[in-house]
């Protein structure tokens, strides 16, 4: 899933801290353990690297590398298994004065799954895998459906994740004629409607409470996708999030890939579009329903203290301390938090208003 702002801030701070470290020689150890990987294999690899390090000619460099490896081996040996999202391990002497020691060892559990296994000994720590997590990742729901099967997935940044696959077991058409054929057709239609409703229910379970969801794309062959939207009883809130309906010849994992490919026109600039729409609503309410809005630190903080905030808007240009403070208050009252860029005129206007605003649940 995409990172929330608090996760981003924590990750940014960690990356920046580790970037500031540099060794005098090639003696900083970076280890990345992918999610689901056997931690015992990592321990054996580090022990092997320690043996290899005995061949390093420089006495001080050899000593520092072996000490860093020993530190990491103690950590991996103490673990029963790799944490859910994988693991980043960092150790080494970061002193800039020859002959002096300033050893650090960091254990970092990333906020999303690591898919890379890496061992590196260098003058700097390797941080590229963590920096990639900081790249903006928009989240979209994906549904591809035909009468015999359906697949529900997510597009997270550029990665497609399959959530569910279904088969309907609806029988094919019969060659029988007369009343038997008509009755058989009614049975098939009833089974199709039941299948569509099942898919709609699962889509609701997956997408309805997903705050970071930007929109939903639907695909399928022929009229099936339209039949699904008509007969599936998809809740109104999710119907309003549908960005497009595409003609796709498959309803499996390949169908999800085709759906994303054919929806490129809909995905371009979607985040900015959503942001502009939200700010348009905020500015309209500011003019027409002033008592249902608040802006500026003092007014918004007051509204948060009353539990009146429905949606909290924070400019991304605010300080990290301000963001943390207001986000924590919003979390306490289950208010939704939206972060506003300055990539649009509306975003700049919002920042010039103080960069803090709110749409309220009730007047105060």
Does 276 share its domain with 244? no
Decide if 220 contacts 145 (C-beta within 8 A). yes
pLDDT level of residue 270 (50, 70, 90 thresholds): low
Residue 319: both structure tokens together = 């300080």
Among the three residues 249, 267, 285, which one is the final residue of a domain in this structure?
Answer: 267
Mean pLDDT of all residues in the chain?
A: 90
Among the three residues 66, 99, 133, which one is the final residue of a domain in this structure?
Answer: 133
Identify the CATH number of the domain in which residue 243 sits.
3.30.420.60
Does 146 share its domain with 176? yes
Nearest to 318 by CA among 309, 308, 327, 307: 327
Residue 50: both structure tokens together = 């320690």
Residue 180: both structure tokens together = 């038997």
Among the three residues 116, 133, 150, which one is the final residue of a domain in this structure?
Answer: 133
Q: Which residues contact 345 (CB under 8 A, 6 or more apart)?
A: none
Does 211 share its domain with 284? no
Does 126 share its domain with 166? no
| Structural domain of 203 | 139-267
Residue 234 CB-density burial (10 A; 0-12 exposed, 13-18 middle, 19+ buried): buried
Q: What percent of the chain has pLDDT over 90?
A: 65
DSSP H helical segments within the chain, as ranges? 5-19, 39-53, 59-77, 128-133, 178-207, 224-231, 236-239, 253-262, 264-267, 270-288, 297-305, 320-332, 345-352
Residue 172: both structure tokens together = 């094919």
Does 128 share its domain with 50? yes
Does residue 271 surpass a pLDDT of 70?
Answer: no
- The whole-number pLDDT of residue 282 equals 95
Q: How far apart (Å, rounded) are the C-alpha atoms in residues 260 and 156? A: 11
- The whole-number pLDDT of residue 6 equals 76
Q: How far apart (Å, rounded) are the C-alpha atoms in residues 38 and 58? A: 33
Give the 3-state secondary structure of residue 305. Answer: helix
What's the mean pLDDT in 350-361? 94
> For the segment 124-143, what is each residue's pLDDT rounded down to a tens digit?
999 999 988 887 667 899 99
Q: What percent of the chain has pLDDT over 70?
A: 94
Does residue 105 surpass a pLDDT of 80?
Answer: yes
> For the segment 281-290, what is each residue's pLDDT rounded down to a tens digit?
999 999 999 9
- The whole-number pLDDT of residue 237 equals 86
Q: How far apart (Å, rounded) are the C-alpha atoms in residues 253 and 146? A: 13
Does residue 156 surpass a pLDDT of 90?
Answer: no
Does 52 share its domain with 97? yes
Does 162 share its domain with 249? yes
Does residue 178 surpass a pLDDT of 70?
Answer: no
Does residue 163 surpass a pLDDT of 90?
Answer: yes
- Number of Cβ within a 10 Å radius of residue 72: 24
Number of folded domains in the chain?
3
pTM metric for this prediction: 0.51
Does residue 173 surpass a pLDDT of 90?
Answer: no
Identify the CATH number of the domain in which residue 304 sits.
3.30.1330.30
pLDDT level of residue 2 (50, 70, 90 thresholds): low
Does 222 share its domain with 324? no
What's the mean pLDDT in 57-63? 94
Does 70 share its domain with 156? no
Does 279 share its domain with 333? yes
> For the segment 10-33, what is each residue's pLDDT rounded down to a tens digit?
899 999 999 999 999 999 999 999
Does 146 share its domain with 256? yes
3-state SS track over 72-106: HHHHHHCCCCCCCCCEEEEEEECCCCCCCCCEEEE
Cα 184 to the center of its chain, rounded Å: 45
DSSP 32-60: EE-TT--HHHHHHHHHHHHHHHTT-SSHH
Does 125 share its domain with 168? no
Identify the CATH number of the domain in which residue 74 sits.
3.30.960.10
């Amino acid at each position: 899933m995409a990172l929330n702002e608090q996760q981003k801030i924590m990750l940014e701070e960690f990356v920046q801290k580790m970037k500031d470290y540099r060794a005098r020689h090639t003696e900083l150890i970076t280890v990345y353990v992918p999610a689901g990987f056997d931690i015992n294999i990592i321990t054996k690899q580090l022990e092997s690297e320690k043996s290899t390090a005995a061949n390093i000619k420089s006495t001080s460099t050899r000593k520092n590398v072996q000490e860093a490896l020993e530190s990491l081996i103690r950590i991996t040996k103490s673990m029963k298994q790799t944490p859910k999202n994988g693991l980043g391990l960092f150790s080494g002497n970061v002193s800039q004065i020859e002959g002096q020691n300033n050893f650090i060892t960091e254990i970092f559990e990333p906020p999303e799954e690591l898919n890379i296994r890496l061992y590196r000994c260098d003058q700097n720590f390797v941080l590229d895998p963590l920096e990639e997590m900081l790249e903006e990742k928009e989240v979209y729901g994906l549904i591809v459906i035909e009468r015999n099967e359906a697949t529900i997935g997510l597009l997270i940044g550029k990665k497609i994740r399959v959530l569910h696959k279904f088969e309907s077991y609806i029988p094919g058409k019969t060659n029988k004629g007369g009343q038997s054929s008509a009755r058989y057709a009614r049975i098939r239609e009833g089974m199709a409607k039941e299948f569509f409703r099942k898919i709609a229910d699962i889509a609701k379970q997956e997408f309805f409470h997903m705050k970071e969801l930007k929109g939903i794309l639907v695909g399928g062959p022929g009229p099936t996708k339209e039949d699904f939207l008509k007969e599936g009883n998809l809740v109104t809130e999710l119907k309003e999030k549908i960005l497009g309906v595409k003609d796709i010849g498959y309803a499996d994992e390949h169908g999800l890939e085709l759906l994303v490919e054919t929806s490129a026109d809909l995905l371009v600039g979607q985040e900015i579009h959503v942001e502009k729409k939200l700010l348009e609503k905020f500015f309209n309410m500011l003019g027409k329903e002033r008592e249902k809005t608040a802006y500026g630190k003092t007014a918004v903080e007051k509204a948060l203290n009353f539990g009146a905030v429905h949606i909290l808007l924070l400019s991304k240009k605010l300080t990290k301390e301000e963001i943390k403070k207001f986000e924590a208050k919003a979390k306490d009252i289950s208010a939704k938090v939206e972060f506003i860029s300055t990539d649009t005129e509306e975003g700049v206007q919002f920042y010039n208003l103080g960069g803090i605003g709110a749409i309220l649940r009730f007047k105060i």
